[in-house]
């Protein structure tokens, strides 16, 4: 049995939700066959804050025409999700109440981070770390996400 409900090599579950603008969205239709980066985040998460500038750079390097970024808020009842997403400075599909999606994907810690390739297979999933939040771990995750994207885009 895998360590997660959805692990690398597994099929990403389909879901429906309402985005931050109140619009209904559904996955995998949302991705339109592009690789998708999923980040399960919370406003209180120092690891998330450290990784977001790297995610912005990934978006700049790959572009919206080649990848999709889905930011699923989870384990976060009191944070100002709108201000957090607006401050990112790059486009994401933001799901403000994603605890149900996180449960389907077996996300137990924040940030949950994964890449789903264009066929719906999870090609990368972040595992737990002993490293503290900051530049070192954010760079490592960025490299891992980029490697998964490069492979998915071949």
What pLDDT, on a 0 to 100 scale, did the predictor assign at position 44? 95
Alpha-carbon gap, residue 11 to 68, rounded angstroms: 17
> pTM, whole model, 2 decimals?
0.93
Q: What is the mean pLDDT of each run of 10 residues along the chain (154 residues)?
A: 69 96 96 97 96 98 97 92 95 96 93 96 91 91 97 95
What pLDDT, on a 0 to 100 scale, did the predictor assign at position 82? 93
Q: Is 10 strand, coil or helix?
A: coil
What pLDDT, on a 0 to 100 scale, did the predictor assign at position 46? 96
What pLDDT, on a 0 to 100 scale, did the predictor assign at position 80? 93
Strand partners, 74: none
Domain 15-153 classification at class level: alpha beta
What pLDDT, on a 0 to 100 scale, did the predictor assign at position 3? 52
Q: What are phi and psi of 121, to 5 degrees?
A: -95, 135
* Cβ atoms within 10 Å, residue 60: 10
* Domain ranges (residues) in the chain: 15-153
């Amino acid at each position: 049995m895998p360590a997660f409900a959805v692990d690398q090599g597994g099929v990403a579950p389909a879901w429906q939700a309402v985005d931050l603008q109140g619009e209904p969205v559904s996955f995998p239709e949302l991705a339109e066959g592009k690789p998708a980066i999923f980040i399960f985040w919370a406003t209180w998460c120092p690891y998330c804050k450290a990784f977001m500038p790297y995610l912005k750079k990934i978006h700049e390097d790959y572009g919206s025409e080649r990848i999709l970024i889905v930011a699923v808020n989870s384990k976060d009842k009191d944070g100002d999700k709108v201000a957090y997403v607006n401050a990112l400075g790059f486009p994401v599909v933001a799901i403000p109440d994603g605890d149900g999606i996180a449960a389907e994907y077996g996300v137990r810690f924040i940030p949950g981070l994964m890449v789903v390739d264009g066929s719906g297979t999870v090609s990368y999933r972040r595992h737990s770390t002993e490293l503290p939040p900051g530049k070192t771990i954010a760079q490592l995750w960025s490299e891992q996400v980029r490697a998964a994207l490069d492979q998915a885009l071949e």
